[in-house]
């Protein structure tokens, strides 16, 4: 549906924070990680995509319908910013793809025969485990 959706700068809210984890002085002094906030309701996405995003079971979407993505993979702020936007685009692409509807089918004659043969074979195995009566 949406093949190349690119959000406008007005729809995205970036804030630079310090990254966590190992990295020495670069991590301790430079705010290279990026928090990307994207309000689904106020975006330029079509209503269908907005509804599907809001119903997505993703921990990055809060109750207010705001997507929060933290990018801290790279050392530079610009690369983390590009990574966050790419991850947002991937999230939108995942809900933009409509799943094909399932068409119910009937089992074939051969599959029914194989199922019944398996059941009778199993029945015979279980019947062989029963006690032998003294009268016979």
Q: What CATH number is associated with residue 54?
A: 3.30.160.20
pLDDT at residue 1 tops 60: no
Residue at 122 is within a domain: no
Domain that holds residue 87: 9-96
Structure tokens at 61: 């979407």
Residue at 59 is within a domain: yes
Residue at 117 is within a domain: no
pTM for the model stands at: 0.67
Per-residue pLDDT of 36-73, as tens digits, reads 999 988 888 888 888 988 888 888 899 898 999 999 88
Residue at 55 is within a domain: yes
pLDDT at residue 14 tops 60: yes
Per-residue pLDDT of 88-135, as tens digits, reads 999 998 888 888 899 999 999 999 999 999 999 999 999 999 888 776
Q: How many CA atoms lie within 13 A of 131 on its CB side?
A: 3
Q: How many CB atoms lie within 10 A of CB 65?
A: 15
Q: How many CA atoms lie within 13 A of 40 on its CB side?
A: 24
Residue at 29 is within a domain: yes
Structure tokens at 8: 């406008």
Residue at 116 is within a domain: no
Position 110 scores a pLDDT of 97
Residue at 134 is within a domain: no
Name the helix (H) or strand (E) containing 29.
helix 25-29
Q: What total number of domains does the chain contain?
A: 1
Residue at 62 is within a domain: yes
Position 112 scores a pLDDT of 97
Q: Which residues of 44-54 are buried (b: 16+ CB within 10 A; e: fewer)?
A: ebeeebbebbe
């Amino acid at each position: 549906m949406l093949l190349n959706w690119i959000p406008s700068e007005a729809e995205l809210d970036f804030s630079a924070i310090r990254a966590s984890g190992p990295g020495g002085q670069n991590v301790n002094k430079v705010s290279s990680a990026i928090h990307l906030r994207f309000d689904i309701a106020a975006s330029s996405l079509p209503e269908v995509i907005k509804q599907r995003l809001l119903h997505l079971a993703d921990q990055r979407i809060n109750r207010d319908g705001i997507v929060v993505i933290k990018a801290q993979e790279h050392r530079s702020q610009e690369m983390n910013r590009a990574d966050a936007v790419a991850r947002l685009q991937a999230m939108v692409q995942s809900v933009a793809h409509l799943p094909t509807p399932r068409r119910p089918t009937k089992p074939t004659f051969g599959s029914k025969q194989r199922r019944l043969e398996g059941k009778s074979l199993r029945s015979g195995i279980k019947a062989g485990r029963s006690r032998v009566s003294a009268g016979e």
